[in-house]
Structure 1
């Protein structure tokens, strides 16, 4: 709901949202995307409000290559938010970003889109501060009770994975200033004794300011962030090729197994024609069905998804290289 009129909406589906065969992870089957509602404000004009939910695969601990899909999503969202600002609009970007404040994904959003963290701006703390603003894996959350937590969550009693980010339009004296930020919905539902979600809510209050002296200062330049991101995606592309070869080899093995079973079924049919009941024929028939399904899955994973993943990574890298080679990058 919005107090002011919503004049437009749009949705952008991310190019990489998880691996299709890992249905249990839920990322690909859910079809992760970002959505935008454009609101007509009487003082600020049009405001683009972006909301999203990044993929969970890769977690928050370990090599950044585990989170390559999320990094691609962050880059796509950063381009959309920056495009909104270039159209002269204020931008709000919020959601479950599944990323720690110091992660590469957040650096992409801060440096390439020019977004500010409402939590960091109001608390006057470093955005990497882990001890406050916890929204996930908190011991106060009932959904955390049976969850296996990593060392980061255990050390700080949870993680800050949910954000409200903001920025002003390019070349405008008016800007938003965060005056209040708080974590909400931390208490269980009284009637049921369970938390509202596995994540707490986040609420921020803004006021309109003409103070250009409080313009954001980013710790890393876009060129520095791109310099760290490109090698990561190059490694992700190498791993994608390796995975594709692995899946195609599996397909070849399943294809050979299916051929052997077809011959076996043919022999069983001949024996049955002489009145002999061969239980093996039933078993081999079921195995043939299972092998055909597994082979088809391996073929899809190796060719259809494998090529899609490589193209998405190459396209993102090409766009990053164009930005990196530009003489200037205004945010």
Structure 2
């Protein structure tokens, strides 16, 4: 709302695990995701692993009334899987494909063929709420933590992502980053990314949290996760993030962070093998009274 001095921004992030012909109950889950997004009315939706353009088109039709602006990022042989739905006008789009991204002979992993990338969609909130630069991204999967052949790849990708954010966010008032970073919070790559960009972790900064213990987004009680891969982590792991920072004369505070906790309400399946991450951010100009009336875009 243009007249309100503070923006209440609701962000939804999810790795949808929607691989055509391979992901279990894909079409049913994509429909469920669309129904939930239409009902909940977030301001910004960042999705990964939407590998089928038909799935994106179906979501676009379903969500057109509440998210009039959207974009699907094309990359590699099979596509980046990244797409964005927004209540705000999208001013431009930019896709950057990481220079180091797996091996073509590792067919069973597939990271090389999709061309893991970061997609940028600068958006305009309104006259009072400023210019947002929300990248959506996915980094190379880990596959095996004990014998991690792709650690150098993720470190290079984290460095390139940090450089990308630094060079594309100078004209923005607020920077948001959502995605499956495939890194634990204490890993070198995520510390490099946050240290070099100044991005803040919504989970660590949130005033209120509701969801899986420790904010985990890959949990053993999800029926689609590979239980053997999570044996060293009985609670699960946190590899999906919403990161943010204010750039110019704005301040950003994370009021609330939520994750889904397995099966979707009223259903026998979850949205994905990953849990969704949902953040509520308060954005206002510096010097503005904290008690001013809150609004939405």
Q: What TM-score do you get using the length of structure 2 for normalisation?
A: 0.61
Alignment match, 2:156? 72
Following TM superposition, where does structure 1 have runs of at least 4 consecutive aligned residues deviating by more than 6 angstroms?
none
Q: Which one of 75, 92, 106 corresponds to residue 190 of structure 2?
A: 106
Q: Partners in 1 of 2:238 and 2:207 — Cα distance?
A: 14
Alignment match, 2:277? 202
| Per-residue deviation, 1:151 | 4.7
Q: Which one of 12, 21, 34 corresponds to residue 96 of structure 2?
A: 12
- Structure 2: 5+ residue runs without aligned partners? 1-84, 288-297
Larger RCO (CA within 8 A; separation ≥ 6): 2
SS at match of 1:23: coil
Contact 1:82 1:114 in 2 (8 A): no
Show the 5 A alignment for 1:243-322: none
Query: Are the structure 2 counterparts of residues 65 and 19 from structure 1 closer, same or farther at C-alpha, using a change threshold of 3 Å?
Result: closer
Alignment match, 1:187? 263
Alignment match, 1:52? 137
| Per-residue deviation, 1:9 | 0.8
Contact 1:39 1:47 in 2 (8 A): yes
**Structure (1 or 2) with the greater strand fraction:** 2
Pair member with larger Rg: 1
| Per-residue deviation, 1:147 | 3.2
Query: Are the structure 2 counterparts of residues 173 and 89 from structure 1 closer, same or farther at C-alpha, using a change threshold of 3 Å?
Result: closer
| Per-residue deviation, 1:76 | 1.0
- Structure 1: 5+ residue runs without aligned partners? 213-331
Alignment match, 1:161? 239
Q: Indicate the RMSD between aligned Cα atoms, in angstroms.
A: 2.5
| Per-residue deviation, 1:63 | 7.2
Alignment match, 1:178? 254
1:136-163 per-residue CA deviation (whole Å, 9 max, x = no partner) reads 0x1321112x531245422xx2001100
Query: Are the structure 2 counterparts of residues 161 and 151 from structure 1 closer, same or farther at C-alpha, using a change threshold of 3 Å?
Result: same
Query: Are the structure 2 counterparts of residues 11 and 39 from structure 1 closer, same or farther at C-alpha, using a change threshold of 3 Å?
Result: same
SS at match of 1:176: strand
Query: Are the structure 2 counterparts of residues 55 and 95 from structure 1 closer, same or farther at C-alpha, using a change threshold of 3 Å?
Result: same
Number of residue pairs aligned between Structure 1 and Structure 2: 200
Q: Which one of 35, 39, 42 corresponds to residue 119 of structure 2?
A: 35
Q: Which one of 116, 139, 142 corresponds to residue 220 of structure 2?
A: 139
| Per-residue deviation, 1:187 | 1.8
